[in-house]
Structure 1
Amino acid sequence: MRTSVVATAGHVDHGKSSLVRALTGRDPDRYAEEKRRGLTIDLGYAWTEVPGGGTVAFVDVPGHERFVPTMLAGVGPVPVVVFVVAADGGWMPQSAEHLAALDALDVRHGLLVITRADLADPAPVREAALAELGRTSLRDVPAVACSAVTGEGLDAVRAALADVLATVPAPDPAAPVRFWVDRSFSVTGAGTVVTGTLPAGTVAVGDELVVGERTVNVRGVQSLERPVERAAGVARVAVNLRGVDRRDVRRGDALLTPGTHVRTDLVDVRVDVRVDVRADVRADPAGLPAELVVHLGSAAVPARVRPLGGPLVRLQLRTPLPLVVGDRLLLRDPARHEVLGPAAVLDVLPPVLRRRGAAAARAATLAEVRGPDLGSELRRRHLVRGRTLRAMGVPVAGEPVAGDWYADPAWWAARRARVPEVVRAYRAANPLHPGPTLEHVRRTLGLPDLGHDTTLVTALVTDPLRVREGRVVERTDDLPPAVERAVAAVLADLSAAPFAAPDVERLRELRLGRSELAAAVRAGRLERVAEGLVLAPGYRDRAVAALRAVPQPFSLSQARQALGTSRRVAVPLLEALDAAGATVRDADDRRRLR
C-alpha cells in the first residue's frame, strides 16, 4: 500500500495540531512545554490510514515566527502540504510567511483546511485564503472546512486529501538517496538512530551511505515505528546507523548514496526574489543582503552573497551542502525574518573568480543554463569525468572520448587537430628525438595532469601519428624498398636466434647504416637495445621468459647461455632489462627477475 507524507503548515497552532490529532488519533506535540503552552515548538509526527489514500504520515511544523527555520526543516523534503487557517483567526502574518516559503520551494500539491469552523463562519476566511494561495504555486489546491472538536468536516478532509495524494507523481525508488535528517538520538543497545523524510530512492538494511566525510552502514530501518527491510520514498523513515556517534550527525545533515551529489560550499544560482508575493513584483538581486540563510531539505546554512549580474548570484556557504544542478534553494533574511525567494542551482563546482570583470563574464556564461544538461556542462567545462557529471546530477549519454572522460565535441576536435602541429614543432626543435613525450603533448594542449594515466593524450593521437615508448611519433611503416628488404633479412636471422643481434659486418653487408636503422626503429620494425645493436620488437618479454628458466639469482654467463647469444649482446640487453625494471642487479653483479 502506498505511503505518503504531508506537512501541516499555517499560523500559530489555531487548530493545526488539533486537526492532526483528530485525523490520526495521535498527538504530534512531543514535549510537555508544547502541551502546556498549546504551541508547537518542534517538528511533530503522526500517521493514519486514509480511505482511498493509503497510509499518510503528517509532519506537523511550528507556526510561530520564532520557529520558521524549524518549520522549513519540516517542509523542505515534503511534496504535499495541508495548509491550515483558523476560521476564528483568519489570515495571519505567519500564514503569509509560511505561504512564501512553500511558494519558494515550489510545493504544488496540497489542501487548504479551514479549522475551528464551529467557532466562526469559515466561508469568508476560505475565500480570503484562496485569494492568497491563488498567487502562488498552491493556486489550484482544493479547500475544506472542519472542526476538530465536533468532528464536522473531517471525512471531507480525508476524502479531499486522498484525491490530492492520487495526483502526486510517485518518486523514483532507484533514485540516489539524499535523506535529510531532522532528528538524531541514541537507543540503548542499538546506537545512533536518525529520522527524516525520504523524498526518493530506497534505504535498505545493509546499505552503505555517506554523511559528511564519513561512511556509515545501515543497521536497521523503521517506517512509522515498524521494522522493515527497505523503505522507498516518499516515506517517514528511522535509520539505525553503524559507524557514527549521535553527536556527529544532526538535523540538516543528509545521508547520501556514495558517489552522488557534490558536497560544496560554493555555488552559482539564479535567484527569483519577490518584493511582494501578492503583487508578484521581482526585486533586483543586487539588492540582496550581504549575508542570508540558505534552506534545503532540513538544512539551514548561512551564506555570503556575491552578485554576478542580472539574476545570477554566487553563494559562499558557511557549511558545505550536498547539491546537484537543478536543486531549488530557499533564501531567507534572518535579520528581517523574511523569506526572500527561491534560487535555482546552476553550478555546484564553479571556477574561482579573480580577474577584473570575471563576475560579468561568469554571468554571461551562465545565462544559457536552465538545468542539468550534458551539452551545456561540456561547453563550459570542456573536459570532465563521467562520475563527476553524475555526482552533479547531470545525465550522461553517449560514448566517452577516453576512459570515463567526456568532452565538448568542438573543443576535443580542436585539441586533436593540434597534435600534429605539436609533433612537428617538437621535431623541429629536437631533431635527434623521434617525437615529443606524452607529457609534453599533455602540457602543450592544456590537458589535466593525471599522473601516469596517459589515456586522454593517447586518445588524441590518430593517423599518421602513433604512440611508441611514451612518445608521439610519425607513422613511417613504408620504408624504402632496399631498407625494407634489409630489415626483413635481419628479422629472418632473428627468427632462428632471437638474441643473436646482427654485428657490424652483417649490418654493413645489408647496407643498414645509422640512419637506416633509425628509420626502421621509428617504424617499429626493429627495437634499439644500444647504439648499433637492434633486435626484433618485443625482445624484452622474450628475454624475461627465457630467464625464468634460470636459477635465481643468475650470473652474466648463465644469462648469456639461456639467451643463446654473445657477451656483446648479453651485456647491453641485461642493462636494458635493468632500466626497464624487469631485473634487479645485486651487489655481486648477479641478477634476478623482479
Structure 2
Amino acid sequence: MIVGTAGHIDHGKTSLVTALTGVAGDRLKEEKRRGITIDLGFAFLPLPDGSTLGFIDVPGHERFVHTMVAGASGIDIALLAVAADDGVMPQTREHLAILDLLQIGRGVIAITKADLATPERLSEVSAQIREATAGTVLDGAEILPVSSVSGQGVDRLREWLVAEAKALGERATDGRFRLAVDRSFTLAGIGVVVTGTVLSGVVRVKDQVLVSPSGLSARVRSLHAQNREVEAGRAGDRCALNLAGEGISKEAIRRGDMVIDPFLHAPTERIDARLRLLPGEPKPVGQWFPARLHHGATEVGARVVLLDGEQLLPGHAADVQLVLDKPIAAASLDRFVLRDVSAQRTIGGGQFFDLRAPTRQRRTAARETQRAALALSDPREAFAALLDAPPFAWDLAAFARDRALSASKRNEVADALSPILFHADEQSIAIGHSHWHSFVEGLVERLDAFHAANPDLQGMGREKLRVSLQPKLPPAAFSLALQHADVTGRVVRDGAFVRLTSHSLHMSPEREALWQRVAPLLGGDVRFRPPRVRDVAGLLARPEQDIRQLMKFAARLGLVDEVAHDHFFLRPTMHDMVLIAADLAAHAADGSFTAAQFRDRIDSGRKVAIQILEFFDRQRVTLNRGTLRRVQLQYIDLYGPVP
C-alpha cells in the first residue's frame, strides 16, 4: 500500500514523512542544500503484521509539478499537507486538482506546523481546507493537526494511515504485470536497477519482462518490494527490479517507461479519452489544442482533438482524441493529467478509453457507441457492449491486452458471453450470436444474388465477398468463418472464389472429352512448367481458340488457374506451390524468401517463377517487399487445405 504526499512547497511534507517513518525522504545533495524536495523521495514503515506501508514524497515547488504527477499516479492514499502558518496556497490547490483528476479517492489532510498555531488559527485553516476540497475526492476527508517538531498528532496520523491501509486491503493481482518506471540507475556488482510502483499484476524473480515503448526484452534477476528483498512484487508495491538483457542499460530505460508482461507491449500515440477541463481555466480548449500529457511517470507533448463540438468550456468534460508526439505504454481506463505547454499550470485530465483510436471518422455515431462501451469499467459488461457496437466483431485478445487482463480474466469474459470465436494469428475475433446469424444469412443472400446475376461464373471473389458483409471480418477470421459448421453445408470455398453448394458449372460431353486429353499434359513432371495454350493446341492438333475457351471454362470450374496470359496451372499444382512458398518462408530467419529460391524449388525458369509469384501477390498469398517476399498465412488455403 502506497501513501503519497501532496501540498505546497515548504509545508512540511518531507519532515512529516520522516516523523512518521523515521526515514528522511530527501536524498539528493541539492535537496539537502536547498531544503526542498526536487525529485521523488521514498520511505517505508514496517507494520506489526509484517506488511510495509510505503511513502512517496513529492516536490511542492511549481517547477516540479510534473514530478509530483509521476509520484501521485501510483498511490493508494493521499496525504495532503497544509501548513498552519500559510494555509491553503496555490500548489495546495494544484496538487488537490491533480489528486482529483487521478481519482485518488482515499486520503487524509494534515495541518502541519500545528505547534506554531493558536486554536483559532487551526480552525481558520480547517475552514480554508473544507472550502478548497469541496466537491473533490478529498471532500469530507479527516483533518488532523500535526507537528513534526513536537510530535503532536503524529501517532494519531500514523494510526489512521495504518487503519486505512488495512481497510483497503491488497490490490487485486489478477491483471498482467505493469510497473511505471520513475528511476533507472546502476549499482556496482548488481547492474541495472529500475524502481517504480507496480500498477497491476505480479512480477517474480526470473520472469521475462519487456520495457515499453522501446520493446527491449529483459529478465528479472532480483527484486525488492517495500525496501525488502523478496521473490515477488505485486500491485501496490514499491519495487526495485534488477534487470538483465541485451541492450539493457540505465540510459536505455528512462523515467516514464513501463516494465510489463511482454503480452501487453503495444505502444500507442493516438488515444480516445474523456477530458475534464478545470473550472479555473481562463479560456476554452479548441481543436488541436497543444498540451503536455502526464501519464504514470511519463510526460509527452499532445494535441487535443474534440470529438463533439468545437470547444470545451472550463468546468466541463467531453470525449477527445489525444494525438501524441511519440508513443507511450498505457492501458485502457488509465487516468491522465494535462498541463499547458509552458508547464505553468494543470489544465485538466481524465481517463483513457480506446488506445487504438482511428485517424478518420472519429465523430460518427458508431464511434460514439464504441467509446461508450469502452468506458465501462467492468470488462464483461464492456465487451458485451462492444459486441453490440459496429462493426459487431471485436478482437478479444486485443481487448484483454489493452486492459491488462490476465488470461484467466479474459477466459471469464469469454465464458460469460460465449461468443462465436475465431482464433487467427494473434487475434481472437468474437461475434455475438445474433450478429453471427445475421452474418451467415447475409453471406448466403449475397452469393445467391451474385449467382443470379452471373450464372456462368464460378463464384464470387473471396476478398470481394468479405468486404461486402457485416460484420466485416479480418481476412484470417473470414477464412475460418467459411469453415464454420453453420456455413460449410451451404457454402463452398473454391480457390480464390466462394459459391453456394447449389451452384455448379458443368462441361459439355465434348469439352469433357477434350479436357481429359488436356489435363495430363499440365500435370506430372511438367506441372511446375506446363505448356501454354499454343503448345497444347500444337500437341493435340486443335485450334488455339478451342483450347483457350476450354481452359477459361476450366478456370471457372476451379480446375486450373491462369497465372499469366494463356499459361494455366492445375489447381493441385497451385496448392503445392503455395506450400513451397510457405516452407521457404518458415525456414528463413526473417520469414522472407527470394524469387531465385522459389525458382530453384520448383525447377523452372526465372520468368515463369516471377509470373507465379506476381500472381500470388495479386491473390494476397504473398507480399512483395523489393527483392523479398513474405507469405500471408491467412491466404495459404486458397487452393486447398493446409496440412
Report if TM-score (shorter chain) is over 0.5.
Answer: yes
1:268–1:350 CA contact under 8 A, matched in 2: yes
Shift of 1:188: 2.4
Match of 2:515 among 502, 527, 531: 531
Shift of 1:457: 3.5
1:261–1:323 CA contact under 8 A, matched in 2: no
What is the distance in 2 between the residues matched to 1:226 and 1:105? 28
| 1:95 counterpart residue number | 92
| 1:295 counterpart residue number | 294
Residue 475 (str. 1) matches residue 501 (str. 2): yes
In the TM superposition, 1:477-496 aligns within 5 A as: none
What is the distance in 2 between the residues matched to 1:289 and 1:336? 18
What is the distance in 2 between the residues matched to 1:336 and 1:231? 34
Which amino acid in 1 is paired with 2:376? G
| 2:151 counterpart residue number | 151
**Which of the two has higher C-alpha Rg?**
1
What is the distance in 1 between the residues matched to 2:254 and 2:492? 53
Match of 1:274 among 273, 278, 285: 278
Question: Which stretches in structure 2 are left out of the alignment for 5+ residues?
Answer: 310-317, 518-523, 525-559, 561-568, 581-600, 605-642
1:47–1:55 CA contact under 8 A, matched in 2: yes
1:69 is paired with a residue whose SS is: helix
Shift of 1:375: 3.2
What is the distance in 2 between the residues matched to 1:225 and 1:263? 30
Residues 437-479 of structure 1 show CA distances to partners (whole Å, capped at 9, x for unaligned) of: 54443244374553698213433962652335545344359x9
Residue 377 (str. 1) matches residue 372 (str. 2): no
1:285 to 1:315, Cα distance in 2 relative to 1, 3 A:
farther
Question: Which stretches in structure 1 are left out of the alignment for 5+ residues?
Answer: 277-281, 480-512, 519-527, 534-539, 541-571, 588-593
Residue 117 (str. 1) matches residue 114 (str. 2): yes
1:139 to 1:184, Cα distance in 2 relative to 1, 3 A:
same
In the TM superposition, 1:3-42 aligns within 5 A as: 4-42=1-39
Shift of 1:319: 2.0
What is the distance in 1 between the residues matched to 2:502 and 2:370? 47
Shift of 1:167: 2.7
| 1:214 counterpart residue number | 216
Shift of 1:315: 1.0
What is the distance in 2 between the residues matched to 1:147 and 1:136? 26
Q: Which moved more, 1:401-410 or 1:440-449?
A: 440-449
Shift of 1:45: 0.7
1:463 to 1:34, Cα distance in 2 relative to 1, 3 A:
closer
Residues 358-401 of structure 1 show CA distances to partners (whole Å, capped at 9, x for unaligned) of: 64657744674433511333313432322111122286432334
What is the distance in 1 between the residues matched to 2:57 and 2:343? 25
1:273–1:283 CA contact under 8 A, matched in 2: no
1:6–1:80 CA contact under 8 A, matched in 2: yes
Sequence identity (%): 32
What is the distance in 2 between the residues matched to 1:260 and 1:283? 39
Tell me the TM-score normalised to structure 2 length.
0.69
What is the distance in 2 between the residues matched to 1:228 and 1:217? 16
Match of 2:56 among 53, 56, 59: 59
Match of 1:333 among 323, 340, 343: 340
2:2–2:54 CA contact under 8 A, matched in 1: yes
What is the distance in 2 between the residues matched to 1:56 and 1:529? 88
| 1:483 counterpart residue number | none
2:353–2:371 CA contact under 8 A, matched in 1: no
What is the distance in 2 between the residues matched to 1:40 and 1:577? 74
What is the distance in 2 between the residues matched to 1:473 and 1:210? 46
2:262 is paired with a residue whose SS is: coil
Shift of 1:134: 3.2
What is the distance in 2 between the residues matched to 1:585 and 1:299? 54
1:264 to 1:408, Cα distance in 2 relative to 1, 3 A:
farther
What is the distance in 1 between the residues matched to 2:513 and 2:116? 101
What is the distance in 2 between the residues matched to 1:65 and 1:132? 18
1:308–1:360 CA contact under 8 A, matched in 2: no
Tell me the TM-score normalised to structure 1 length.
0.75
Which amino acid in 2 is paired with 1:118? D
2:370–2:386 CA contact under 8 A, matched in 1: no
Residues 283-332 of structure 1 show CA distances to partners (whole Å, capped at 9, x for unaligned) of: 98645881111112111221011112151211101122223332222222
2:492–2:501 CA contact under 8 A, matched in 1: no
Residues 170-196 of structure 1 show CA distances to partners (whole Å, capped at 9, x for unaligned) of: 311231122100000112233211001
| 1:450 counterpart residue number | 475
Q: Which moved more, 1:70-79 or 1:453-462?
A: 453-462
Match of 2:465 among 414, 436, 441: 441
Match of 1:245 among 244, 249, 256: 249
1:225 to 1:440, Cα distance in 2 relative to 1, 3 A:
same
Instruction: Count how many residue pairs are aligned between Structure 1 and Structure 2.
Output: 498
In the TM superposition, 1:132-531 aligns within 5 A as: 132-211=132-211, 212=213, 213-243=215-245, 244-260=248-264, 262-276=266-280, 286-287=285-286, 290-309=289-308, 311-335=318-342, 337-353=344-360, 359=363, 364-365=368-369, 368-369=372-373, 370-371=375-376, 373-378=382-387, 379-393=389-403, 396-397=413-414, 398-403=418-423, 404-407=428-431, 409=433, 411-428=435-452, 431-436=455-460, 438-445=462-469, 447=472, 450=475, 454-459=479-484, 462=487, 465-470=490-495, 471-475=497-501, 531=515
Shift of 1:236: 0.8
1:111–1:141 CA contact under 8 A, matched in 2: yes
1:427 is paired with a residue whose SS is: helix
